[in-house]
Amino acid sequence: MTERGQHRRPATFKLDDPSVVLIDGNDGAHSAPRDNPSSRDNSALRGKVQIATEAETQPPISAPVDPSGVIRRKGFRWGTIFWSAFTGLVSLAFWLWVSRLIGDLFAQSQTLGTIGFVLAALAGGSLAVIIGREAYGLIRLAKIEQLHARAATVLLTDNRAEGRAIIRELLKLEHTNPQLARARATLTKHIDDIIDGADLIRLAERELLTPLDQEARALISKAAQRVSLVTAISPKALIDVVFVLIATVRLVGQLARLYGGRPGAIGMIKLMRQTISHLAITGGIAIGDSVVQQLVGHGLAAKLSSKLGEGMLNGMLTARLGLAAIDLTRPLPFNALPRPALGDLVKDLARTKRDKDE
């Protein structure tokens, strides 16, 4: 048993009193007052007031974190200028070629010139529509990304006015989804109530995104099962790579459209690049110990052949990409609802494998 020290009565003293000795709290070394250098010895500290100084700790500097998980480079982008100028030159050259072609057709025959002009007009109109759809898709993806970042800020600052503005924009974003009609009515009824900004964001997440998250999990689970099955029975590795790529692009597009985005071809390229970057930053490609334990727990290591095991890993990678895509296409961060875990998807995948084996 340890002996308890004697309690001393409260007393007042001055710091410049010679009987007051400061003790360094970091390593226990004693620092003597300036006017008493011989007080470093333990014998000299007896009968004096000892004050232990606390270690000065500086809080870690928190760097701003991008909600989308993608690192953005700041500065002047010469690559953008180059590709813009190059695209402009190619467009001018193509326009000059088309104008000369139509002129030559009119020189040959009035009918050929008219047909060439009509075809050129149809091609130009279709190209304008395609460009407009691509621009609309990029703007919509950027709006979802901004809503995600603003909602994350409101969850920290609890700004009520900003929370209401985010809810209104979110309702406009999801106004075409008939599945969310009741949720939109509920949010519209409570948007002017006296509710804190963070609680408004949580209410919108529970009402609007609960059915969407369930459908997103079902989409990821089906895509992972499909990839796992096809790659397990395919005879060529090239077929595996092509099928996984097609399934992943299709899954990311489905998730983006589910949460309100409408990406075109350029938007899909951007979204796929961001998904892979987000997956690499968060370390999602590596297989964790928990996943390995689940695989061993289901007995797959002893039952499945090497080809089936390869299919399982491809399905897990597809599920990982789907989870990363949710973080990028979801308009609100996960706060009131749990984030989908890879372990749950692996359980669904393993259950499907076990049913097929039986």
Distances (CA, A) of 67 to 145, 192, 331: 8, 27, 11
DSSP reduced 3-state for 190: helix
pLDDT at 197 over 70: yes
Tell me how far apart the alpha carbons of residues 242 and 245 are, in angstroms, rounded to a whole number. 5
Q: Which of 31, 53, 75 is the last residue of a domain?
A: 53
| Residue of 259, 68, 84, 34 lying closest to 152 (CA atoms) | 68
Say which residue the tokens 């984030």 belong to: 339
User: Is the pLDDT confidence value at 284 over 50?
Assistant: no
Q: Which pairing describes strands 20-24 and 30-31: parallel, antiparallel, or unpaired?
A: antiparallel
Please say whether the beta carbons of 162 and 150 come within 8 A: yes
The lowest-confidence range among 54-63, 93-102, 109-118, 196-205 is 54-63
Q: What secondary structure letter does DSSP report for 20?
A: E
Distance CA 234, CA 212 (A): 33
Q: How far is CA 53 from the centre of its chain?
A: 44
Note the pLDDT of residue 174.
84
What DSSP string describes 21-82? EEEETTT--EE--TT-GGGGSHHHHTTSEEEEEPP--PPPPPPP--TTS-----S--HHHHH
Q: Is residue 92 part of a domain?
A: no
What's the mean pLDDT in 91-111? 90
In a domain, 155, yes or no: no
CA–CA dist 188, 170 (Å, integer): 11
- Domain extent at residue 45: 20-53
Higher pLDDT, 70 or 342: 342
Contact by Cβ (8 Å): 11, 5: no
318 exposed, middle or buried (CB, 10 Å; 0-12, 13-18, 19+)? buried
Distance CA 329, CA 203 (A): 19
* Distance of alpha carbon 172 from the chain centroid: 22
Q: How confident is the model at residue 97 (pLDDT cuts 50, 70, 90)?
A: very high
Assess contact for 182 and 313: CB atoms under 8 A. no
64 is written with which tokens?
């701003």
pLDDT at 126: 93
Q: Evaluate whether residue 59 is within a structural domain.
A: no
Domain-located, residue 286: yes
- Three-state DSSP class for residue 197: helix
What mean pLDDT is reported for the chain? 75
Residue 30 has pLDDT above 50, yes or no: no
Is 260 part of any domain? Answer: yes
Q: Which two tokens stand for residue 354?
A: 């076990």
What total of structural domains would you count in the chain?
Answer: 2
**pLDDT higher at 16 or 112:** 112
Q: 177 in a domain, yes or no?
A: no
Residue among 319, 320, 328 at smallest CA distance from 219: 319
Sheet strands (E) in the chain: 20-24, 30-31, 49-53
pLDDT at 88 exceeding the cut of 70? yes
Rounded mean pLDDT of 299-326? 72
What is the spatial distance between Cα 356 and Cα 351, in angstroms, rounded to a whole number? 9
Q: Does residue 281 fall inside a structural domain?
A: yes
Quick check: is 134 in a domain? no
Residue 244 confidence class, pLDDT cut points 50, 70, 90: confident
Confidence at residue 89, expressed as pLDDT on a 0 to 100 scale:
93
Query: From CA 150, how far away is CA 331, in angstroms rounded?
Result: 10
Read off the pTM: 0.64
